[in-house]
Amino acid sequence: MALGKYSRVDGRKSSSSYCSTVTLVVFVALCLVGVWMMTSSSVIPIQNLEVSSQDSKNKVKEQVSESNPSSENNDTIPKQFEDNPGVLPEDATKGGSHEKTQKENNTSQNSNTFENVSDSAAERNQEENPENKPKSEGASKTETENGERRTEDGESKMVDTDSEAGETRKDNSDGNSGIQGNPENDKKSDSGESEKKSEENTVMKQDGDKADGRIEVDGEAKDLLSNEVFPSGAKSELLNETTTQNGAWSTQAAESKNEKDAQKSSEPNQEVVYTWKLCNVTAGPDYIPCLDNLQAIRNLRTTKHYEHRERHCPEDPPTCLVPLPEGYQRPIEWPTSRDKIWYRNVPHTKLAEVKGHQNWVKVSGDYLSFPGGGTQFKHGALHYIDVIQQSVPDIAWGKRSRVVLDVGCGVASFGGYLFDRDVLTMSLAPKDEHEAQVQFALERGIPAISAVMGTKRLLFPSRVFDVVHCARCRVPWHIEGGKLLLELNRVLRPGGFFIWSATPVYQTRAEDVGIWQAMTELTKSMCWNVVKLTKDKVNKVGIVIYQKPTSNECYEKRARNEPPLCEESDDPNAAWNVPLQACMHRVPVDASERGSRWPEQWSARLEKPPYWLLSSQIGVYGKAAPEDFSSDYEHWKHVVTKSYLTEMEINWSKVRNVMDMNSIYGGFAAALKKLNVWVMNVVPVDSPDTLPIIYERGLFGIYHDWCESFSTYPRSYDLLHADHLFSKIQKKCNLVVVVAEADRILRPEGRLIVRDKLQTLNELESLLKSMHWQIPFKYSKDTEGLLCAQKTLWRPTEVETITYAIG
Ligand SMILES: *[C@@H]1O[C@H](CO)[C@@H](O)[C@H](O)[C@H]1NC(C)=O
Ligand SMILES: *[C@@H]1O[C@H](CO)[C@@H](O)[C@H](O)[C@H]1NC(C)=O
Ligand SMILES: *[C@@H]1O[C@H](CO)[C@@H](O)[C@H](O)[C@H]1NC(C)=O
Ligand SMILES: *[C@@H]1O[C@H](CO)[C@@H](O)[C@H](O)[C@H]1NC(C)=O
Ligand SMILES: *[C@@H]1O[C@H](CO)[C@@H](O)[C@H](O)[C@H]1NC(C)=O
Ligand SMILES: *[C@@H]1O[C@H](CO)[C@@H](O)[C@H](O)[C@H]1NC(C)=O
Ligand SMILES: *[C@@H]1O[C@H](CO)[C@@H](O)[C@H](O)[C@H]1NC(C)=O
């Protein structure tokens, strides 16, 4: 609908003829566009008013309970996530009793209030600086105001182009196009913008090409360079001179380039920003710092609840770079990658050996191939997916059911094939050095994270998944009062389905029958309704489908309050380092509350502000929440179509796995809807908690703290997008740490797009260049900038041994 507003393309081609006459106007237009693009939209987390962040939620949580796994326990518990008994015998048993130790209001360390927030993080490493948040808020707010003010100053003519509010824009442009009173302005502003961009593009590309591989940049030269890039009226002529003649006066671009070339030739002793080293760790090229902290794992008192697969982030996050596997090649592109990947990229044969007979993975020549199966669907995931829908038509893949959680995902074929049904699947499995399931999934271009159902809540808000699926995931749902199943209950939408296909559903061995009985009892007491018990005859498996209630009626009617309802004070959305609890949250019934209704069908839900965003609430950018949401979406559609898709020399058909490192409403991901990509939306724990909104619109994401490493394998994303993230985390932790993490996550030749304050951007650029990254695109205006960087295959030669990761 809103696209029309940006489709006024007509004037663009002829635009250059206007240049000489209306330089001034163009200049003004450029300023405005620049300001709008850089600031307005991307102005971040300003208001924590209506949405509290994960950080603050935890605080509350932490006082509530801390699970204290008792170290001796006799129950034998099925292994989790594993199909194959041979692989991890030590995990085979885990304990049964979990007692909550502290629930007193006894205020010692643990009774944090909402205001006294920073403690929860104290267990971990960062967060020295509680004042940071307010400060950054202040800063960005000022900028918005500037932006707005400037817009106002900037002549009535320009109102149309891009004042900050999507709404305003819409109104104005409608008005204008209706009247057509001012066609010249229209044209000029549009053409101004595109022209400006392509010019910069050219400049930067040249610069990049010629200065390829240079290691350091003189700070001063950089500043001048960025000035150079910026439109002054005479810009185009100046640039022409640069390329055509090096006559009487040279341009800054040329000077800087020469300077850099000179520096390059006298390379070693120039100011090297940072000396990178290669990580020497036991996990080698598969290093995940928070999951491979072997020292912390050795010190665990117990591993009965899979503590050794949970996150244990090092106090001093590594700043070394992860080595490449031998023979690493650019990953095969989607959708071919769903069927086969390079063996050398993920050289783990164990899974192939073990699972070979199950038709998961095969080694064939240089490839690992995935015949489309999984243990539960040897004869085709698509068949299995369709059987599910036939048995419960309400599931309606790709309409009612859009966002799925797949627990213990194997190689994630289920999620991989659900793409064909317009369904987005978050797959999770524990990191396992033998099987590397999640690594296969990501290499295939299928979303997945390394996570375990252990002692802590999953890093998702409550009531966000339309469907939760577990095929033979071997999570012991029925034990310990159903604690783990109750966690699924937390993240499942009221009215959502739990699909379970595992041997207890359809086999008659004594163990299976026992588990089936326990599950039947448990799910009944949880008020889950058995919707269907069905068979996939082709794959020869049984499937049971439960539905979570949409009201509290059943809870209230239960003879025993078991499992208990959670305390009213228990925030179901608190998920960051929050211990699991064996209780159920009430279903929201108030019509204005999230969860009281099912979202719109896909894909209407992508564009509409959720019904529970109220105009009385203030959004992250300071407008009423629903407008905030909409203008964010308009903004990102604009940025993506005008800039990311066209101006950055990114070949999007090579992009598959995308991460938005600082999602607000998921607008960036929504704007990529038409592309063949998926986007992991990360909501930092110290940002307003907008993750439920992202899910409500049919996208997915996770909470994270960027001072720690992300639970993904190295080289798993093609593109990272960081909108005003680095300047923010810079205040919390060392930029080098975050840059090293970005390098770890990104595939060679992958891109990092950063929009941020110029100062941060310059620092970042030096760091990136010192890792031999290329900077094919750069743009800045006043204090704001945009940068697109590309990782290379370069690795350092020096080695740093990370002792806590040596085992
Ligand atoms: C554990 O099991 C063993 C044998 O199965 C039994 O002798 C012992 O008493 C049990 N311990 C506890 C704490 O239940
Ligand atoms: C907890 O606090 C409440 C009120 O603050 C008080 O009435 C109660 O006695 C306290 N309980 C304990 C165990 O300290
Ligand atoms: C809190 O409880 C612990 C034991 O549960 C006790 O030792 C301590 O004195 C209590 N503190 C206060 C302030 O009541
Ligand atoms: C809360 O913070 C205030 C000021 O930062 C401090 O004086 C107070 O002791 C803190 N309270 C707790 C329980 O940490
Ligand atoms: C700029 O360069 C283009 C070709 O590169 C040329 O056609 C144009 O005339 C030049 N403009 C000026 C002002 O030199
Ligand atoms: C890596 O660490 C191991 C264990 O500390 C050590 O034996 C080895 O020499 C190190 N490798 C390099 C290249 O430093
Ligand atoms: C983009 O990548 C695809 C697939 O690798 C390739 O076929 C196509 O030619 C590329 N396009 C451009 C413009 O490089």
- The residue that leads in pLDDT, 621 or 89, is 621
* pLDDT number for residue 34: 53
Peptide bond before 56: cis, by omega within 30 degrees of 0? no
Phi and psi at 776, nearest 5°, equal -70, -20
Q: Which two tokens stand for residue 442?
A: 């990501």
Helices of type H across 180-211: 183-210
Considering only CA atoms, which residue is closest to atom 4 of ligand 5?
240
Q: Is the CB of 240 under 6 A from ligand 5?
A: yes
Considering only CA atoms, which residue is closest to atom 11 of ligand 7?
651
Q: Distance between CA atoms of 331 and 444, rounded to whole angstroms? A: 8
Looking at residues 336-352, what average pLDDT do you find?
81
Q: Is the pLDDT of residue 255 over 70?
A: no
Q: Distance between CA atoms of 602 and 599, rounded to whole angstroms? A: 9
Kind plus residue range of the DSSP H or E element containing 543: strand 541-547
Going by C-alpha positions, the residue among 322, 650, 680, 373 that lies closest to residue 539 is 373
Instruction: Give the range among 31-45, 113-127, 188-202 with minimum mean pLDDT.
Output: 113-127
Ligand of minimum distance to the alpha carbon of 239: 5
Ligand of minimum distance to the alpha carbon of 280: 6
Ligand of minimum distance to the alpha carbon of 651: 7
Tell me the CA–centroid distance for residue 574 and ligand 2, in Å. 24
* pLDDT number for residue 273: 61
* pLDDT number for residue 516: 95
Atom of ligand 5 nearest to the CA of 241: 14
User: Would you tell me how many other CB atoms lie within 10 Å of the CB of residue 691?
Assistant: 29
Percentage of the residues of the chain whose pLDDT score is greater than 90 = 52
pLDDT tens-digit map of 446-492:
999 999 999 999 999 999 999 999 988 888 999 999 999 999 999 99
Q: Is the pLDDT of residue 36 over 60?
A: no
Q: Residue 207: which residues within 8 A CB-CB, separation 6 or more? A: 225, 253, 256, 257
Q: Is the CB of 20 under 6 A from ligand 5?
A: no
Per DSSP bridges, beta strands 701-704 and 492-501 are: unpaired
Q: Is the CB of 104 under 6 A from ligand 3?
A: yes
pLDDT tens-digit map of 263-309:
444 444 444 468 999 999 999 999 999 999 999 999 999 999 999 99
Q: Is the CB of 801 under 6 A from ligand 6?
A: yes
Q: Which two tokens stand for residue 311?
A: 């996150």
Q: Is the pLDDT of residue 623 over 50?
A: yes
Atom of ligand 7 nearest to the CA of 652: 1
Going by C-alpha positions, the residue among 724, 615, 711 that lies closest to residue 661 is 724
Ligand 7 mutation pick, 333, 654, 656, 677, max ligand atoms within 8 A of CB: 654
* pLDDT number for residue 685: 94
- The residue that leads in pLDDT, 92 or 576, is 576
Ligand 3 mutation pick, 68, 101, 102, 104, max ligand atoms within 8 A of CB: 104
Looking at residues 333-339, what average pLDDT do you find?
91
Considering only CA atoms, which residue is closest to atom 5 of ligand 5?
240
Q: Is the CB of 209 under 6 A from ligand 5?
A: no
The CA angle 87-90-94, to the nearest 5 degrees, is 120
Q: Is the CB of 106 under 6 A from ligand 2?
A: yes
Helices of type H across 154-182: 159-162, 166-179
* pLDDT number for residue 409: 67
Considering only CA atoms, which residue is closest to atom 6 of ligand 6?
801
Q: Is the CB of 244 under 6 A from ligand 2?
A: no
* pLDDT number for residue 150: 37
Q: Are 435 and 414 spatial neighbours (Cβ–Cβ below 8 Å)?
A: no
Atom of ligand 2 nearest to the CA of 104: 13
* pLDDT number for residue 175: 37
Instruction: Give the range among 81-95, 700-714, 718-732, 750-764 with minimum mean pLDDT.
Output: 81-95
* pLDDT number for residue 33: 55
Q: Is the CB of 104 under 6 A from ligand 2?
A: yes
Tell me the CA–centroid distance for residue 106 and ligand 3, in Å. 6
Q: Which two tokens stand for residue 801?
A: 């041994």
Of the ranges 150-164, 177-191, 303-317, which is most confident? 303-317
**Is 341 in a helix, a strand, or coil?**
strand
* pLDDT number for residue 527: 97
Of the ranges 88-102, 219-233, 716-730, which is most confident? 716-730
pLDDT tens-digit map of 380-422:
888 899 999 999 999 999 999 999 999 986 778 899 999 999 9
Ligand 3 mutation pick, 103, 106, 107, 111, max ligand atoms within 8 A of CB: 106
* pLDDT number for residue 27: 61
Q: Is the pLDDT of residue 94 over 50?
A: no
**722: β partners:** 754
Across all residues in the chain, what is the average pLDDT? 74
What does CATH list as the number for 371-557? 3.40.50.150
The CA angle 433-437-442, to the nearest 5 degrees, is 115
DSSP 358-407: GTS-EEETTEEE--S--TT-TT-HHHHHHHHHHH-GGG-BTTTB-EEEEE
pTM of the model: 0.68
Phi and psi at 611, nearest 5°, equal -60, -25
Q: How far apart are the first and last CA of the chain?
A: 57
Q: Is the pLDDT of residue 203 over 90?
A: no
Sorted by where each begins, the domain ranges of the chain are: 371-557
Atom of ligand 2 nearest to the CA of 106: 14
Q: Are 185 and 8 spatial neighbours (Cβ–Cβ below 8 Å)?
A: no
Q: Are 515 and 487 spatial neighbours (Cβ–Cβ below 8 Å)?
A: no
Q: Is the CB of 106 under 6 A from ligand 3?
A: yes
* pLDDT number for residue 356: 52
Tell me the CA–centroid distance for residue 204 and ligand 4, in Å. 50
Considering only CA atoms, which residue is closest to atom 10 of ligand 3?
106
**678: β partners:** 657
Q: Is the pLDDT of residue 526 over 70?
A: yes
Q: Is the CB of 433 under 6 A from ligand 2?
A: no
pLDDT tens-digit map of 646-694:
888 899 999 999 999 999 999 999 999 999 999 999 999 999 999 999 9
Q: Are 722 and 687 spatial neighbours (Cβ–Cβ below 8 Å)?
A: no
Q: Is the CB of 72 under 6 A from ligand 1?
A: yes
Kind plus residue range of the DSSP H or E element containing 121: helix 119-122
Ligand of minimum distance to the alpha carbon of 294: 6
Pocket (CB within 6 angstroms of ligand 7): 333, 651, 653-654
Q: Distance between CA atoms of 329 and 344, rounded to whole angstroms? A: 8
Q: Is the pLDDT of residue 562 over 50?
A: yes
pLDDT tens-digit map of 380-391:
888 899 999 999
